[in-house]
Copies of this chain bind each other. A is one copy, B any other.
Amino acid sequence: MSRPGTKGVPREQREQQILEIATTEFGGRGYAYTSLTDIATAAGVSKPLIYTYFGSRDGLHAACVQRAGKSLVDAVASAQTVSGADKALATLTAIFRALDGQTENWKLIYDTTLPRPSEAYALAREYQDALNTMGAEGVAEVLAGSDDADDHSLLLALWFSIVSTTIAWWSENPTQTPQQMTERCLRLFTAVRQPA
């Protein structure tokens, strides 16, 4: 593309730029289908530069995941109002508000093409669990009477996947506002609750 030699962009700034693009790429196509060459091209930068800054493909990916994960956790935490009843639904609402505009981050953290097991998956999983735990309290409430560990385990997994699916649905129907999503979920929730 262009000649070698510095362009005067300081490292910190380039790193941020690369992280943003890489997050979009990794999140969009998935880890398994995103090559460093792809990212370098998209970022308008050469491959060796990425290596000098992030060490390896996995290093870059890890950096993206950390950034995205922190951002999501912060957003959800600060959006979470301590509502009394129906904590689960409140958490969903918080997530919807927090996610407005960070769907790339979400897709990165919940990338299903990550190899399992792997370092990359383990790291993403940490943030998944962190976000998960924020909703777990309300979920555990539902099974207050029971002490069956497997029941809790499965219900948590289900909660997990419900959130993921809803977000995925949202990112395929992006015209929806957080407000609308909340209302929609409330409708479905109550509909399911009512005996048929």
Interface residues of A (CB under 8 A from B): 29-30, 32-33, 85-86, 112-113, 115-116, 141-146, 148, 150-151, 153-155, 157-158, 160-162, 164-166, 168-169, 173, 176, 184, 187-188, 191-193, 195-196
Residue contact B153 to A169, C-beta cutoff 8 Å: yes
A131 nearest CB across to chain B (Å): 16
Residue contact B32 to A113, C-beta cutoff 8 Å: yes
Interface of A is mostly: helix
A156 nearest CB across to chain B (Å): 10
Residue contact A196 to B153, C-beta cutoff 8 Å: no
A193 to B154, CA, bound (A): 16
Residue contact B192 to A142, C-beta cutoff 8 Å: yes
Q: Which of B85, B176, B187 contacts A196 (CB 8 A)?
A: B85
A116 nearest CB across to chain B (Å): 8
**Residues of chain B with a CB closer than 8 A to A184's CB:** 148, 150-151, 154
Across the interface, name the chain B residue whose C-beta is closest to A189. Answer: B192
Residue contact A160 to B165, C-beta cutoff 8 Å: yes
A31 nearest CB across to chain B (Å): 9
User: Which of A29, A32, A151 counts the most chain B CB atoms within 10 A?
Assistant: A32
Q: Which of B150, B161, B196 contacts A165 (CB 8 A)?
A: B161
Known: A148-B187, A161-B162; 5 extra A-B contacts, CB below 8 A, are A154-B166, A155-B188, A157-B165, A161-B164, A161-B165
A116 to B145, CA, bound (A): 42
Residue contact B115 to A33, C-beta cutoff 8 Å: yes
A89 nearest CB across to chain B (Å): 10
Residue contact B154 to A162, C-beta cutoff 8 Å: no
A111 nearest CB across to chain B (Å): 9
